[in-house]
Amino acid sequence: MRWDRDYVKEAADSGRVIPGFNIFGYEDALAVTRAAEEAGCPVLLMVNRGAVDAMDAECWGKLLSSIAQRAAVPVGVHLDHCSDTDIIRRAVDSGFSSVMYDGSKLSFEKNREITQQMAEYAHACGVLLEAELGQVPYSDLGETEIRYTSPEEAAGISSETEADWLAVSVGNVHRLVDRTVTIDFSVLHQIQKVCRLPLVIHGSSGVSSGDIKRLKHEHIGKMNFGTVLRKAFSDALRMEMQEHPEEFDRLKLFAYPVTRVEQEAYQIISMLQGIPDLSRGKCGEGGKNENSAERTV
């Protein structure tokens, strides 16, 4: 189904959270879409900087919007973290349903100015815009300093631009492989008091399960998950290659890793939506054992 309205805002206003998953190919895009269909919930397929470097925005837009159109639930196609305004415009023109302008490294004034320009461009095509304030560190780059989102600046972005969603830095950290991060709810509450926009939490793979549950009761519309799916895929692929060193068929090697992505995505969607996690029994009918048996036939 088309992402025909602002499901993120609707979620934030009604105590739900829409998951955004970073995807890197058609296999994981389909796996995430299947998980969302199984759960009956909207989902966002997100294309990050590395993915746009590997394949241009036009190709991603066509590929992912065709997957979204065939889905049984609303599937958004989102450009994640982009500070290149040319790429943002190309994504808007190529079927993306939302784009993120990341001006977090700029002065507030410059960030606000370009955020507004991008919001105007996006809205003219019916596309939503995510802004960012503060800086969410990347653990894999050795970044340790968290620059928290300023509530005053959040109020400014909310009242002085037409941005639709705001990514905030409230203790969250990108690319953690364990759920060790705790959210600073006092900063989050200060932001929410003065900012009407649905907020977005990046680096959700590393947020403690308890805090993820608490965040559902805040004005959070979207949580981004990348590392948890990437790790599920690569751990499973490593195992497949060790178990079947003679195998050269990519489709066979990818079958189990893609099933693991679907299971992890379903588990996260279940957690956010408060529905029972039946992923082990329902998602990816080609589970490890069945898949292995199939491969030997």
Closest distance between Zn ion and the C-beta of residue 262, in Å? Answer: 22
Q: How far apart are CA 112 and CA 83, in angstroms?
A: 13
Closer of 26 and 138 to Zn ion (Cβ): 138
CB of 95 within 8 A of CB of 62?
Answer: yes
Report whether 35 contacts 269 (CB < 8 A): yes
Q: How far apart are CA 221 and CA 7, in angstroms?
A: 8
Are the C-beta atoms of residues 229 and 206 closer than 8 Å to each other? Answer: no
Residues paired with residue 45 on neighbouring β-strands, in sequence order: 21, 77
**Only segment of 26-34, 125-133, 201-209, 278-286 that touches Zn ion (CB under 5 A):** 201-209
Chain position whose Cβ is nearest to Zn ion: 202
CB closer to Zn ion out of 42 and 206? 206
Q: Which is nearer to Zn ion, 202 or 230 (CB)?
A: 202
The residue from 16, 175, 202, 222 that contacts Zn ion (CB under 5 A) is 202
Output 150 or 169, the one with its CB closest to Zn ion. 169
Please state, in angstroms and rounded to a whole number, the distance separating the CA atoms of residues 101 and 89: 10
Size of the site for Zn ion (CB under 5 A): 1
Q: How far is Cα 232 from Cα 279, in angstroms, rounded to an integer? A: 14
Helices and strands: H and E segment counts in the chain? 13, 8
C-beta closer to Zn ion: residue 202 or 219:
202
Q: What 8-state DSSP symbol labels residue 126? A: T
Least gap, CB of 177 to Zn ion (angstroms): 16
Minimum distance, C-beta of residue 224 to Zn ion, in the bound complex (Å): 6
Smallest gap from Cβ 45 to Zn ion, in A, equals 15
Hey, how many other C-beta atoms are within 10 angstroms of the C-beta on 185?
A: 15
Compute the least distance from the CB of residue 20 to Zn ion, in Å: 9
Asked whether position 230 contacts Zn ion by CB under 5 A, the answer is no
In the complex, the smallest distance separating the C-beta of residue 217 from Zn ion, rounded to whole angstroms, is: 22
Contact set with Zn ion (CB under 5 A): 202
